[in-house]
Amino acid sequence: MWVVSPCRRRELQSFQWYLRRLKSMSPAEIVWRVQGLARDKADHLVYKNRLPDFKASSLINGYIAETLDARAVGDHVQELAVGALSDYDPTWRDALLTKAEKAIEGRLSYFDLVDVDHGQPIHWNHEQKANRKTPTGFVGKIDYRDHASTGDCKFVWEPNRHHQLVVLARAYRATGEVKFAQAVLDQLNSWMDQCPFGTTMNWRSPLELGIRVINWVWALELIKPSGLLTEDKLDRIAGSAYRHMWDIARKFSKYSSANNHLIGEAAGVYVGACYFAGFPESERWRRQAQEILINEIIEQTHEDGGTREQAFGYHLFVLQFYLASLLAARSRGEDFPPPFYTRLEKMFEFVAILIEGGQQSPQFGDADDGYVLDLGGSPASARSLLGVGAILFNRGEFRDIAGQASEWAYWFIGPESTNKFHGIPKIEEPRSLASTSLSQTGYYLLQAGKSDARNAISAIIDCGPLGFKSIAAHGHADALSMTLRVGGFDVLVDPGTYDYFTHPEYRAYFRSTKAHNTVEIDGQDQSRMQGLFLWGTRAVSRCVEWRPTDNGGVFIGEHFGYRRLSDPVTHRRTVELHADRRELVIHDDIVAAGKHQIVLYWHFGENCTLKSETNHIWAVDYQAGLGTIHVDDGCHVSPSWGSQDPIMGWVSRGYHRKEAITTLVAQRECIGRTRITTRILVGQSAPDHDGAESASVASVANEG
């Protein structure tokens, strides 16, 4: 009997993954990837001498002056008074200083880790979740997907993005205390000591390099008045920044990998080249990176403003890259062309439409908590970003939906941002929700009611592509899935993502059909997974009918993911919102000739409590009110809550964070064409949550 070692097994699995990837690649992409492998081999031979130590002395005339001239983060940053910020909310200041004091001590929080001690100096080559050292040899030999040797790469890379440096630098500007500025330089120096060019995981991904450069630029500019940035210190930092930009510029992502990574890489080079303007290559890098950004905002965004990656978290992520680049351009007296602004405004419109009906952002597709800059509050907050968009484009509806001026806007636009925000005329208060089609992205919103009312209803149906380009890396098998928000509260939820690399079984579950509010047939996913970020056969969806009304309307769509079965199946879903009678009706038509096993899943928000009235009728307390769900009488319905075997009944609101929820699993066998009908009634009075109810659950069920 052959025994395969764990190391050999990992090599075999990696080889099999590459074979699957090859099938999705064009000949040109294969050539490009072979060239990349050859480049890595060559780098391994000469990397220690590949880039001689950069000496700023050769460029000293004008270089230091260019570098220290606020050419990438806006004149308003240069003008911010040290220790006496005007119009700076005291609550912002308190939260900032608490976070900065912890950062000085090397106590950082990210994902599910809270105030974890990273050492003094910080251990940059360490995976804190698994508590293990990570490889420090030649970067081209490190496989970041190999959890056994590297741990979860995201837990390595996150502190190495250096968001905390901007936190420290902001704290210096807010207080004038030099210890915060000194901590920025101390952490930069320790990082450069531990992470020489061409080695360690922290030089592995060009995207990570791009994010790090942007944070360096902001941190350096914010601490400039401290007087600590002497020429010798800047010389060393500039040398490392040069290597970052040089390495990214020769490795820009292409073909199936040219997704949000390419945008982040280009933004890093663009912002870095604007700030470190004295390098011989800076102008060329700047032009090249800007051209990529101008092209990719069109290439990677639908005309309705949605991301082609079909992942809302990444939509917010790339918005920050575009904003950082836009500010860098304006700082230099340059700008982006009108089509860039037109599509950027559409991206903000997309955010406004999707978040208006709920208290939490939707979770379609992958999300990994990624953000570019920590400028206060929740760094990846959709409403904070929308507030910036309101000021940039003077859009009253953006202002209304964002709700309040954000600290993010304060640092990004300047102290006048608060007055500018409040000076934008309101469109309507409260706003009326209207049924809306985002047909290019494939999202259809059936909505009605005032946005701040307890009876406001917002149902979103996903009838879009699986994902972007040949691998659809960040898509989920969620064709015709839907979510439901009532009074701003989540009733039916998209599950989120939870994990990429550590728990493959959970990675598979959160991407699967069964994790979404849709139909699974014969125990198979609509689209076939072939790797952690790779899809094979895909479900193709289309909208058959869209009929919006003042009371909601009707959506009809279908997908063909199950046409691959020996007896081909089409799943058609009709969703009707009748807001006047507080009812949502869902008809799932299974169009087939033979016999199939059908499972319909309904995933309820983490704050929902369900009670069974019969096997088919369940009372739902969703905080803002009471409702019922009546599942088709032909199904057998069973609840699942936080199950690990099989995995079922979970929602994830952040990377490596999950919470148990109630999932109703409705099963039946069908022969030939079959219709399954689900009715959801919402809007009854909420219980007092102390055991006494203000409305009878039984009466609610009867009304349904």
Residue 14: the pLDDT is 52
Q: Which of 416, 436, 418, 420 has its CA nearest to residue 352?
A: 436
Mean pLDDT computed over 561-587: 97
Q: Return the sign of the alpha-carbon dihedral for residues 248, 251, 257, 258.
A: positive
| Distance separating alpha carbons of residues 94 and 81, to the nearest angstrom | 18
Indicate the DSSP class of residue 424.
Answer: S
Yes or no: say if 368 and 497 are a contact pair by the CB < 8 Å rule: yes
Question: What average pLDDT does the chain have?
Answer: 90
Q: Which of 436, 666, 484, 480 has its CA nearest to residue 582?
A: 484
* Residue at token pair 């999300």: 367
> 512: part of which helix (H) or strand (E)?
none
Indicate the DSSP class of residue 605.
Answer: P
Q: Cα dihedral angle (38, 39, 41, 42), rounded to 10 degrees?
A: 120
Residue 57: the pLDDT is 38
Weakest mean pLDDT among 115-119, 135-139, 512-516? 135-139
Kindly indicate the confidence band of residue 74, based on its pLDDT and cuts at 50, 70 and 90. confident
Q: Does domain 436-703 have CATH number 2.40.340.10?
A: no
Yes or no: say if 375 and 166 are a contact pair by the CB < 8 Å rule: yes
Reduced to 3 states, what is the DSSP secondary structure of residue 565? coil
Establish how many alpha carbons lie within 13 A of residue 40's alpha carbon, considering only the half-sphere containing its beta carbon.
17
Q: Quick check: 454 pLDDT over 90?
A: no
Q: Which of 375, 407, 324, 370 has its CA nearest to residue 166?
A: 375
| Distance separating alpha carbons of residues 9 and 58, to the nearest angstrom | 50
Q: What is the pLDDT of residues 83-92, one digit of tens each?
A: 999 999 999 9
**Residue 631 φ/ψ, nearest 5 degrees:** -90, 145
Q: Which of 621, 623, 603 has its CA nearest to residue 611?
A: 621
pTM of the model: 0.93
Mean pLDDT computed over 588-600: 98
End-to-end CA distance of the chain: 62
Q: Does domain 61-423 have CATH number 1.50.10.100?
A: yes
Q: Which of 188, 325, 341, 196 has its CA nearest to residue 269?
A: 325
Structural domain boundaries in the chain: 61-423, 436-703
Q: What is the pLDDT of residues 534-556, one digit of tens each?
A: 999 999 999 999 999 999 999 99
576, two tokens: 């009707």
Residue 690: the pLDDT is 43
Q: Quick check: 432 pLDDT over 80?
A: yes
Q: Cα dihedral angle (16, 18, 23, 24), rounded to 10 degrees?
A: 130
In order of 162, 293, 386, 427, the CA distances from 630 in angstroms are 50, 49, 37, 38
| Distance separating alpha carbons of residues 126 and 130, to the nearest angstrom | 9
520, two tokens: 């699974």
Yes or no: say if 229 and 220 are a contact pair by the CB < 8 Å rule: yes
Mean pLDDT computed over 299-307: 98
| Distance separating alpha carbons of residues 438 and 539, to the nearest angstrom | 19
Kindly indicate the confidence band of residue 120, based on its pLDDT and cuts at 50, 70 and 90. very high
Which residue did the predictor score with more confidence, 55 or 275? 275
Yes or no: say if 646 and 551 are a contact pair by the CB < 8 Å rule: no
Using CB atoms within 10 Å of the CB of residue 116, give its burial: 0 to 12 exposed, 13 to 18 middle, 19+ buried: middle
Q: What is the pLDDT of residues 337-373, one digit of tens each?
A: 999 999 999 999 999 999 998 989 999 999 999 999 9
386, two tokens: 């929308």
378, two tokens: 């929740």
Share of the chain above pLDDT 90, in %: 78
Q: Quick check: 64 pLDDT over 70?
A: no
| Distance separating alpha carbons of residues 704 and 176, to the nearest angstrom | 62
Q: Quick check: 42 pLDDT over 90?
A: no
Kindly indicate the confidence band of residue 653, based on its pLDDT and cuts at 50, 70 and 90. very high
> 571: part of which helix (H) or strand (E)?
strand 570-578
Kindly indicate the confidence band of residue 300, based on its pLDDT and cuts at 50, 70 and 90. very high
Which residue did the predictor score with more confidence, 69 or 463? 463
Mean pLDDT computed over 198-207: 95
